[in-house]
Structure 1
Amino acid sequence: MIKVYLRLLLLMCSVSVFAQDYFPSNSGVKSDNNSNYMAFTNATIYVSPSEVIKNGTLLIKDGKVVNVGKSVSLPKNTTKVDLSGKSIYPSFIDLHTTFGVDKPKRGGNGPSYGPSRSGFYWNDHVMPEQDVMASFKYDAKEASQLHKLGFGVVNTHMPDGIVRGTGALIALNNDADNSLRVVDGETTQNFSFSKSVKSRQNYPSSIMGSMALLRQMYDDAKWYAAGNVDTRDLSLEALNENKNLLQIFEAGSRANLLRADKVGDQSNIQYTIVGGGDEYERIDEVKATNATIILPIDFRMAYDVENPFLASTLALSDMRAWNQEPHNPRLLAENGVRFSLTTHGLKKKSSFKSNLMKAIESGLSKEKALEALTTIPAQLLGKTDLLGSLKKGAYANFLITSGDVFEKDSKLYENWVQGMQHIIADMNVNDIDGDYTFKLAGDDYKLNISGSTSKAKAKIESGEKSLGTKIDYNGDWVNLTMKTADSTKNEFVRVAANSTNKNVLRGTAILPNGSEYVFFATKTDIESSEKSKDKSKDKKDSEQPFMSPLTYPNMAYGYTEKPKAETLLFKNATIWTNESEGVLENTDLLIKNGKIAKIGKNLSDGSAKIIDAKGKHITAGVIDEHSHIAAASINEGGQNSSAEVTIEDVIDDEDIDIYRNLAGGVTSIQILHGSANPIGGRSAIIKLKWGESADGYIYDNSPKFIKFALGENVKQSRSSRNERFPQSRMGVEQVFIDYFSRAKAYDEAKKSGKPYRKDTEMEVLAEILNGERFISCHSYVQSEINMLMKVAEQFNFRINTFTHILEGYKVADKMKKHGVGGSTFSDWWAYKYEVNDAIPYNAAIMHNAGVTVAINSDDAEMSRRLNQEAAKSIKYGGISEEEALKFVTLNPAKLLHIDDRVGSLKVGKDADVVLWSDHPLSVYTKAEKTIIEGVTYFDLEKDKQMRKAIAKEKSELINRMLQEKNKGLKTQPVKKAEKALLHCHSEESGLLKTY
């Protein structure tokens, strides 16, 4: 072996033409000598994203930048480091981390309905007094991981609670103590919709509950700040003290981003919002918030779609997300939305750079990427004098790289933080990473080396075989040990080679039998590789990477453009007016400007699109008085009254059941709160304008409704943890009496003109007392139905609607006298004890007694065929066809106080109409067109075309995913998304897309 090394030494001398100049070593620059001047010369210096100096000098001292420029005067005691061919960038800043903070531990057993603390806010999940520095412990290991990604400073916070307290700005300086590392101990006030894991307080138990809690908290903080409270509240004091800090809200999705912004706007607070990476779906709405986004780049892997059966279960929305997510940063930048980038949400922080490269490949400019990692977070923190750039006076936080920091092959050598050096890779060692080929004893081999400047790894292949390989790289010498291609023998080839020329490895190989061969490995065609890079760059410059088209909503059956109102003239239809005119044969209907313009024979309009409706039927759109589709949560059951919450906060504009309901002729629904508590939340009355924003669904000047409930659900008969009051039917009555007594007193205080503490819950209940809000009450048993009517009469108001009301036939006369309507099922019974006495004649009996009756669904599947449910009343009770149709059109409109707009076909009303292929109550009929305010939101023929387009798009995305797998990239298994069907008793759940 000695002879081998002697030969290699001689070989080194003979190939000195390949030798390179070495940079002066600076590996010993540590905290003990950083008080001297240091100058980094001849580098490409990115002072800021928009200011770049070629062959510049960066001068630092005492952890800060002294000067930077092309010609910098250097003091005598300056240590110089020549960085010819290298680049310097400001270190990155991450605004949203949990660095140095242990994961909070779950506390207590079982739910609690009161706070666990005294002297603080009444809700445990509001903790603005929480100081992250009280539990902070510097984590050098995690800091080293972040160094490798380019980060020099992070903002950290306690990830626990709805109001999480203050965050702190930490310099990732492994060689200092906390007195230097803590740049600022109070930088941010942090929020989320998620409860604290440390408290078992049950309220809130939903997103809408969290939103209501935040609103009430802000109102209470104002009341407290005005000096109206004698008892100290340390939480409200902290909240008010922290109001001038950066307010960061962890939303986690585009929908929650918009919800958080809504809460902030109502309290005149502009949150900086941690997004979810899906902002591209509604970029205009995101832009309208004026919020700066802290943007995760946790892009999903391609799915393994080789199995055709499994691939067929994959939702188009998930397939699109794989393709579209990397384009999110570009689209935000193009639309002028300011954002910073974060490692938050990454399962492995090491994937940050590869995901960032993917975003840049998808069109994000390098300048915008650098801004998002440096100047923008510095601006948000109000630290532009210290962070985000390399201007005079700033911290000496910078990266030394081999070249463009955003190029895949660029090496990060060092990460300096506050003038302290953190070595990532030795920049004085030849970088020999790459692919090589060599011959040995007549056989061809491929060699790949990676990590040569830090921890070298090697892989050798011969033909299709991968050979076990070990590498040691020290100085200029490469020592390789590889197994032979003969797998039956445990034999090895040893190689010693010199790497003076980084593109060639020269040395000696010793075979298992002792034979020695000249070893000569060359990098694969460098020139060809460079040409390939140039071609790739040209291609990037000329072609935008493929992005699957966005639709509204961004899923299957979404529209490429939002549909618009048309002037439509239906000719020769059978028209069910639901008015005194009854059913009109061979009649025309004109829709114009979103309204029903004319009904009659031989109508004409030169601007109208003519639709031949001969042999077909037209009705008003179906209305579902009791639905739970299109909502992200249904129940806020953390208290026995949740009047402060509203379903309008949690409209899910991407619920596929909206489109399915349109296919069943449904145009309007009331989304009711569930039946978890006696006094539930406020309703949302919406039109199914598929493709609109969440707020765009809600009726203009919508009537005010709230959900009440009686019986088994509210007294928690089937709950394993029934610790909450009430637990009996008489307790339910007492809840109503207690709350309305309080609401009456509250309303009197409000009307007195004296100062009062605003209480949203009492405000809503006072609206009921004043006849401004209507009650739709979940009910079954006649005794409770009678009870609630008596309570209402005691407080001088009436119940608007009893929903379910399956024992309504027993009390129909009393309902008529009280003036309450009934919204019932057609023929559901015996699915729990309370409904053992239900009969299918219920609707007919109530109707014949003079009660306004509607048939509702309370079910995402049944709602698509409410016309058929209405028809059952013809069989069970002999209701006429016209009256039966009114059970799902005009009557629910009356119960919802929207019958002046919808529910019948009358000139001047909203053009919410359905064109049926046959008799509207037939099991064979189909909704051919469903129109809302003159806009066709469902068209049977267009639906067929969309199905073909969906299949084509899926096929294209599957092919692209297969290409990813063939390249050797990681994939994830297909998981079919199951969407929960929500009902009255449903707890909050994450809604999954299924199409």
Structure 2
Amino acid sequence: MKKALLLLFLSVFLTKTYAQDYFPVNESVHNKNKNYTVFTNATIYVTPTQKIEKGTLLIQDGKVVAVGNAVSIPKNAITIDLTGKTIYPSFIDIYTSFGIEKPKANMTPGRSRNPLYDTKRVGYYWNESVRPEINSYETFKYDQPKADELLKAGFGVVGTHVPDGIAQGTGALVALNNEDNSKQIITNKLTNHLSFSKSALTNQNYPSSLMGSMALIRQMYLDLDWYKKGNSETKDLSLEALANNEKLVQIFTSEDKLNSLRAAKIAKEFGLNYVLKGSGNEFERIEEIKATNAKFIIPISFPEAYDVSNPYLSNQIELADMRFWNQAPTNLKVLSDNGIVFALTTDKLKKIEDFKPNLLKAIKLGFDKTKALEALTTVPAAILGKSAEVGSLKVGTYANFIITSGEVFDEKTVLYENWVQGSKFIVNDLSAKDIRGNYDLTVGKDTYKWKIDGTADAQKSEVTTVDATKVKSTFSIAKNWISLVIKPADTIKSNYTRLTGFIEKPDALSGKAVLSSGEELVWKAVKTSPFVMVKDSSKVEKPLPIMPVTYPNIAFGDTKKQTTQTLLFKNATVWTNEKDGILTETDVLIKNGKIAAVGKNLSDAGATVIDAKGKHITSGIIDEHSHIAISKGVNESGHNSTAEVTIEDVVNSEDINIYRDLAGGVTISQLLHGSANPIGGRSAIVKWKWGSSPDEMLYKNQPKFIKFALGENVKQANWGIDNPTRFPQTRMGVEQVFTDYFQLAKEYDESWKKFNAGSKKGKAPRVDLELQTLAEILNKERFITCHSYVESEILMLMNVAEKFNFRVNTFTHILEGYKVADKMKEHGVGASTFSDWWAYKFEVNDAIPFNGPIMHNQGLVVAYNSDDAEMSRRLNQEAAKAVKYGNISEEDAWKFVTLNPAKLLHIDDKVGSLKVGKDADVVLWSENPLSIYAKAEKTIIEGVVYFDIEKDAQKQLAITKERSELIGQMLQEKNKGNGTQQPSKKEKKEYHCDTLEQL
């Protein structure tokens, strides 16, 4: 009895055990299915470069057991004959948010009016956009509808993560296995994700700009290093998670070619290897992209053509956007040709179905098919370090593969099945037989010619008499049953014959025919010739002509980068800005990027001689205060002090204002942070080398500068916020900010000096980029350019500086400088002002156009600046106003925009005048440069001609021609019925000191 009860208990227990898929398997009591599945007679791509004809693939328990031509087939194998079919490894997309709910923006009431400056999270990093502790697998929910879309496109494995924040946490590797949820997550933590984008889950105001994001990332890595060395007194769960994630694959979402260069710059600084998720415009900066030595993840979401049927609307489209539509499909070929390793992603596609058409478009434009397959299989597997598991059909890998009718990247190829971990997903019916070909059809005594063509998954039929007269017919195939209705050529409407039959042998078809009379007959069809795909050459679409890439790839770019020339200008009026003054009938020789000689009757056998008689030559204009060519934010307004950020990180080499500045004779600008906070960010001194990369534009070994600000902007009087919350709110509060931060910087600097003096023993102080920068001011290693208006505040900052034993370098704007010019002279500060701006806001009410001349006459170094994209290209005319309003000599007035700003920037030893040995930053003017009629005919930087008025005319004609060609191409696209997008005018934000925006 006891034995019977025991057996009954075991039977119930085992029954329950079988019902629980996640229960640990005990081989002694659980009969696991060990059957094999074998696929025979297929063309098998083990890898993109290892191909087996008439091969055999053997799988068991979701893994590849054997593959080859001489595979021993086990007795318990299910055999599938794939004669005429091809097997490829399933595709891998390592950049998705599959199964992850999209983070929703924090819509806390009052967010826009009351931004958060400090975090409310306890035990985590101080900035809420740094969230490395997030693990995607913890919130992952398998999305079967989305999985079905990906499976139909050939994908078997995806990487997924939470796309939110700057440090986004870990990503998981997921198998698109609809059958077995216990196998779906292959690896919980495989990747660590970062970006420049702020988290949607926080009200925290910092960072509010791209440069703020970059500074935050740097500070995060510095804090991580400091924390790992045991210097912290408290536990930080974010930094601990970041440390734990270090060994994972680091994927950085850049989303733009210039951002890729920025991310690579950070990676180099900290010895990291980022896999960069790009945007598709890498071809525009391919040399710099290649130089990063990074691996990439590339989307292929090509833009649609614009609907240019309305000529008025089409005029709104920028040439760069029209050109990008034309060029974008070449990106993959360009990357491949340059040896850049990259994987492909479906990210940014409107629908997954667009993936194959877009990829085929890239292939038609020269992207190699083998490279395409690698980018979808072996490359993403290798990037993830998972080559032993996915990406190929080598023994031991997951049984992830697709079965196709032929070459996977052929337009007509049918994808039948996608197997993931040995589980089959049906895309199209594999059992459907391909009966295409030409047949002799016999129905009773009647004979016909029967042609079956079309595609393998959509076969079509045409029936004719023996003498080639077409017979009306309808045809269909379903589950290998043929249905054919023939309407013989007679006058009786109801006279038709119905044929049905099951396909057993594609070469010899047969079945039952029912005549209109009801009589039943046997029909037969014998194949006389196989199906041959005949391509209609008249319908073969030739790829559209691709427009050449220019540097930069916008209007007025050059098809090749400009090089240094040896130039000899003859018989010009030369404004030397040196003791020689203005020289007439004088020559200037430029050689090796330098001023080689200034004098009469110069010669050089290798020089290009330019007749400059009646023209004027000057050094290039220098704009001490500019905000053009800055990416994603001129202000980091998230804190009242942001000394840690730098404009050097966000120079935008693609800004058309650069070219316009060159057309106005500007060769150098200082790009300043805005004036949203008392202590702003560090500046960038740039040379406008049109077509060069951002790093190439940066002035080499430039002096260190930082932007400070006073007045209405910093106390938020004009921010338009009902209840501003950030300190300071008053002018006296501004003074307190300076005092507090300089005191902190002083203490910080002393702590490091003490630590270094003690042989670096004990716990190190935390590296603080903000205080480190301010300490440089105290140590006289960095100069201040301060936005200023009112005399009381000007005096205040000088007093603060003297209290901490340093000097302010430049007051910019300084529209009440004439009131305190003597005190400024005593302090040793220079002035960079406007020529005649006044009354544009309350604190400018006392501005006068005599301001610059008065300060000049007091012995100050005075410059005129632009602070404006439009004004910067006519600074020569601004200089002339010093003559008009202050009776300043023409020679001295010209120095207001050349030598004097060079002195303020501490670069006058290299630029600012035409002196032998200085950089050849030179402008050839059509006449006196102070004249409103003067035009810059050539603008030269270090011996390279970056603007030439004659070439500019040629470029304008070329732009008109190119626009016309591209409009024609887009009209063709619309006429073909392809998708188009509506034209829209892009409103470009011109930055000023007070421009605010959010990431």
User: Same fold, TM exceeding 0.5?
Assistant: yes
* Aligned residue number for residue 784 of structure 2: 775
Residue 925 of structure 1 pairs with residue 934 of structure 2: yes
**What's the CA shift string for 1:313-366, capped at 9, x where partnerless?**
322211221121111111111111000000111121221111111111111111
Question: CA 1:716/1:348 → structure 2, altered by over 3 Å: closer, same or farther?
Answer: same
Contact 1:362 1:545 in 2 (8 A): no
Within 1, Cα distance between the matches of 2:275 and 2:358? 22
Change (3 A) 1:390 1:381: same
Cross-structure match for 1:62: 61
1:909-961 C-alpha deviation (Å, 9 max, x unpaired): 11111110011011111000001111110000011111112222222222222
Compared CA separation, residues 669 and 39, structure 1 to 2 (3 A): same
SS of the counterpart of 1:530?
coil
- Superposition deviation, residue 174 in structure 1: 0.4
Backbone CA RMSD of aligned residues: 3.4
1:735 equivalent to 2:737? Answer yes
- Cα distance change of structure 1 residues 646 and 34 upon mapping to structure 2, 3 Å threshold: farther
Match of 1:306 among 297, 305, 309: 309
After TM superposition, give the deviation of residue 750 of structure 1 in Å: 1.3
CA distance in 2 between counterparts of 1:534 and 1:307 reads 29
Match of 1:279 among 253, 278, 282: 282
- Tell me the secondary structure at the aligned position of residue 669 of structure 1: strand
Letter in 1 for 2:730: S
Query: Matched residues in 1 for 2:883 and 2:513: separation?
Result: 93
Partner of 2:9: none
Distance 1:452 1:407, change over 3 A: closer
Residue 842 and residue 176 in structure 1: after superposition, are their counterparts in 2 closer, same or farther (change >3 A)?
Answer: same
Which runs of structure 2 are paired with 1:104-253 in the superposition (5 Å)? 104-107=103-106, 108-109=108-109, 110=111, 111-177=115-181, 179-253=182-256
Match of 1:655 in 2: 655
Q: Which amino acid aligns with 2:128?
A: D
How far does residue 104 in structure 1 lie from its aligned partner after superposition? 0.7
Q: What is the aligned counterpart of 1:883 among 863, 880, 892?
A: 892
TM-score (norm 2): 0.87
Which of 847-856 and 659-668 deviates more? Answer: 847-856
Q: For the residues of structure 2 that align with 1:509 and 1:579, how far apart are their CA atoms?
A: 105
Q: Which position in structure 2 is the counterpart of 1:378?
A: 381
The equivalent residue for 1:970 is 979
CA contact (8 A) 2:436 2:530 kept: no
User: Are 1:48 and 1:390, in contact at CA under 8 Å, matched by a contact in 2?
Assistant: yes
| Cα displacement (A) at 1:311 | 2.5
Q: Could you tell me how far 1:870 is from its partner in structure 2?
A: 1.1
* Pairing partner for 2:481 from 472, 476, 479: 476
* Structure 1 residues 471 and 872, CA gap change in structure 2 (3 angstroms): farther
Q: How much has 1:477 moved relative to structure 2?
A: 5.0
Matched-pair contact (CA < 8 Å) for 1:316–1:954: yes
Separation (CA, whole Å) in 2 of partners of 1:526 and 1:309:
54
Distance apart, 1:756 and its partner CA: 2.1
Would you say the 8 A contact 2:44–2:55 is kept in 1?
Answer: yes
- How many residue pairs match? The answer is 918
Give, in whole Å, the separation in 2 of the partners of 1:221 and 1:495: 81
CA, structure 1 residues 507+871, in 2 after alignment: closer, same or farther (shift >3 Å)?
farther
Would the alpha carbon gap of residues 532 and 508 (structure 1) be closer, same or farther in structure 2, given more than 3 Å must change?
farther
Is 1:867 matched up with 2:876?
A: yes
Q: Equivalent residues in 2 for 1:511-910 (5 A)? A: 530-532=534-536, 546-632=545-631, 633-719=633-719, 720=721, 721-752=723-754, 753=756, 754=760, 755-910=764-919
Once the two structures are superposed, residues 195-232 of structure 1 have per-residue CA deviations (whole angstroms, 9 ceiling, x without a partner) of 11111111111111111111111111111111111211
Shift of 1:566: 1.0
Secondary structure of the structure 2 residue equivalent to 1:54: strand
For the residue of structure 1 that corresponds to 2:423, the secondary structure is coil
Out of 549-558 and 702-711, give the one that drifted further: 549-558
The answer for the alignment partner of 2:19 in structure 1 is none
Q: Is the 8 A contact 1:596 1:907 kept in 2?
A: yes
1:45 maps to 44
Counterparts of 1:618 and 1:97, CA distance in 2:
57
Q: Secondary structure at the match of 1:421?
A: strand
Q: What code does the residue aligned with 2:336 have?
A: A
Structure 1 stretches of 4+ moved >6 Å? 431-434, 447-451, 469-472, 493-510, 525-528, 533-536
The letter of the residue matching 2:738 is F
1:614 Cα offset (Å): 0.6
User: In the alignment, what sits opposite 1:290?
Assistant: 293
Q: Provide the C-alpha distance between the structure 2 equivalents of 1:496 and 1:792, rounded to a whole number of angstroms.
A: 101
* Structure 2 residue 346 is matched with structure 1 residue 343: yes
2-structure distance, mates of 1:778, 1:315: 35
Return 5+ residue gaps in structure 1 as ranges. Answer: 1-31, 435-446, 459-468, 481-492, 511-524, 991-995
Residues in 2 aligned to 1:948 and 1:133: alpha-carbon distance in whole angstroms: 56
Residue 795 of structure 1 deviates from its aligned partner by 0.3
Shift of 1:286: 0.9
Q: 1:724 to 1:299 in 2, by over 3 A?
A: same
Deviation, structure 1 residue 191? 0.4
CA contact (8 A) 2:593 2:943 kept: yes
Shift of the alpha carbon at 1:429?
2.4
2:28 corresponds in structure 1 to: none
TM-score normalised by the chain length of structure 1: 0.88
State the alpha-carbon separation in 2 of the partners of residues 233 and 667 from structure 1: 48
Structure 2 vs 1, CA of residues 457 and 771 (structure 1 numbering), >3 Å: closer, same or farther? farther
Contact 1:374 1:388 in 2 (8 A): yes
Alpha-carbon deviation of 1:452? 5.2
Corresponding letter in the other structure for 2:168: R
Distance, in Å, in 1 between the alignment partners of 2:315 and 2:382 is 47
What's the CA shift for 1:251?
A: 0.6
Task: Give the share of equivalent positions with the same residue, in percent.
Answer: 61
User: Could you tell me how far apart the structure 2 residues matched to 1:381 and 1:508 are?
Assistant: 57
Q: How does 1:352-367 map to 2 (within 5 A)?
A: 352-367=355-370
Q: 1:502 to 1:949 in 2, by over 3 A?
A: farther
Q: Which residue identity is paired with 1:740? A: F
Using the TM superposition, name which of 754-763 and 815-824 deviates more: 754-763
Q: 2:653 touches 2:693 (CA, 8 Å); kept in 1?
A: yes
| 3-state SS in 1 of match to 2:954 | helix
Asked if 2 retains the 8 angstrom alpha-carbon contact of 1:497 and 1:505, the reply is: no
**C-alpha distance in structure 2 between counterparts of 1:915 and 1:291, whole Å:** 42
**Partners in 2 of 1:927 and 1:272 — Cα distance?**
44
* CA shift for structure 1 position 503: 13
Write the distance in 1 (CA, Å) between the matches of 2:513 and 2:699.
Answer: 80
Deviations 1:577-613 (A, max 9, x none): 1111111111111111111111111111111111111
* Residue of structure 1 in register with 2:6 after alignment: none
For residue 71 of structure 1, give the secondary structure of its aligned residue in structure 2. Answer: coil
Q: 1:576 to 1:367 in 2, by over 3 A?
A: same
Structure-1 separation of matches of 2:946 and 2:148: 54
CA displacement, residues 598-637 of structure 1 (integer Å, 9 cap, x when unaligned): 1111111111111111111111111100000111031111
The residue type paired with residue 132 of structure 1 is S
Partner of 1:269: 272
Aligned to 1:393: 396
Distance verdict in 2 for CA 1:617–1:507, change over 3 Å: farther
Unmatched 5+ stretches in structure 2: 1-30, 438-451, 462-473, 486-494, 515-528
SS at match of 2:534: helix
The match for 2:920 among 886, 907, 911 is 911
Structure 1 residues 428, 738: closer, same or farther in 2, change over 3 A? same
- Alpha carbons 1:893, 1:899 under 8 Å: kept: yes
Greater displacement, 738-747 / 711-720:
711-720
Letter in 2 for 1:902: V
Distance 2:421 2:120 in 1: 43
Per the TM alignment, residue 46 of structure 1 is displaced from its structure 2 partner at its CA by: 0.4
What is the letter of the counterpart of residue 982 of structure 2? Answer: P
CA distance in 1, matches of 2:83, 2:345: 31
